[in-house]
Amino acid sequence: MADHPYIVTLRAPDAPGIVAELAKAVFQAGGNISDLGQHSEQGEFACRLEVDPTVSLASLREHLSSLSTQHGWSIELFEGTEIPRIVIACSTTLHCLSDLLARIAVGEMGCEVVAIVSDQLDGQSLAEQFRIPFVHLPVGQDRRDQEARIAATLGELNPDLVVLARYMRILPAEITEAWEGKMINIHHSFLPAFAGAGPYKRAHERGVKLIGATAHYVTAGLDEGPIICQDITAVTHRDSTRDLARRGADVERSVLAAALRLHLEHRVMVFGNRTCVFN
């Protein structure tokens, strides 16, 4: 018997009775629901529930499959034993990369880093320290060639998720569309404020009193994807641009780690360009 709850997610056209039908299926399988979150938006219904591991997994799978077939609902069952494979991409700024690697190494995150991909060599020593393959894909004079090599590398590695840990190049639409819902970026501002390059410099010039960080799913629009997680910290007129970057780095670390954890625990569901997060 597992020592963790089974996770069930459901997406369906919104209608009365969905939760009742789902709860009935769990009951018929001999299970007990220990946690449930639900949300409806734009005519679509989503929910996430946890089922105590005392239930027969085979029976639960059978009843959920029957429910899905009967109503045409999209239902997924996660046993919690899966170890998602992730690729982390970085450039020269490494605080988010090092933070994630440390968290994963001590068992805080239930995933495996199968490679670190970078357009620079700065992250190679970290990759060697954590014994993770490092793939260097420099841009050179042909940006399109480098982007093609990134696409090919991701295709070969075939990870469950790609994490852009301060990877500082804009990816083309053919890559972002291929990894829709499976690529997370950390942006060093509280979006939608200061999207794009140099947000700390622009925040300092504007004299803001709060800076933040935003983790979001990557789309073709620059820093416009569905937001997963955000946080802020207060600053003052005494803080220089360098101070903002230093203090903001701590927020970036925690926000990206939180977003990765939410994704791995199947707590994020996307509605258009918005998310609901069952946390």
> 13-28: per-residue pLDDT in tens?
999 999 999 999 999 9
Q: Read off the pLDDT of residues 83-112 as tens digits, 9 standing for 90 and up.
A: 999 999 999 999 999 999 999 999 999 999
Please give the Cα distance from 65 to 78 (Å, whole number).
13
Question: What is the per-residue DSSP string for 29-96?
Answer: TT--EEEEEEEEETTEEEEEEEE-TTS-HHHHHHHHHHHHHHHT-EEEEE-S----EEEEEE-S--HH
Based on the fold, state whether residues 73 and 99 are members of the same structural domain. Answer: no
The residue from 39, 56, 78 where one domain ends is 78
Asked, for residue 1, whether it belongs to a domain, the answer is: no
- Given pLDDT bands bounded at 50, 70 and 90, which one contains residue 2? low
Any idea which residues carry the catalytic annotation? Answer: 223
CA 88/CA 74 separation, integer angstroms? 29
Structure tokens at 252: 């970036």
Token pair 């258009």 is found at 272
Q: Which pLDDT value is given to residue 118?
A: 98
Copy the structure tokens of residue 82: 């899966």
Same domain, 159 and 254: yes
Instruction: Specify whether 71 is located in the same domain as 148.
Output: no
pLDDT over 80 (residue 3): no
Domain CATH code at residue 65: 3.30.70.260
For residue 118, with 0-12 CB atoms within 10 Å meaning exposed, 13-18 middle and 19 or more buried, which class applies?
Answer: buried
Decide if 41 is inside a domain. yes
Helix 18-28, helix 57-71: angle, nearest 10: 150
Q: Where is the domain boundary, 78, 102, 134?
A: 78
270 phi/psi in degrees, rounded to 5: -100, 130
Question: 85-90 and 74-78 as β-strands: parallel, antiparallel, unpaired?
Answer: unpaired
Is residue 71 domain-shared with residue 94, that is, in the same domain? Answer: no
What is the SS3 assignment for 169?
coil
* Contacts (Cβ under 8 Å, ≥6 apart) of 160: 84, 85, 86, 111, 182
What is the residue-averaged pLDDT of the chain?
96
52 and 14 both lie in a single domain: yes
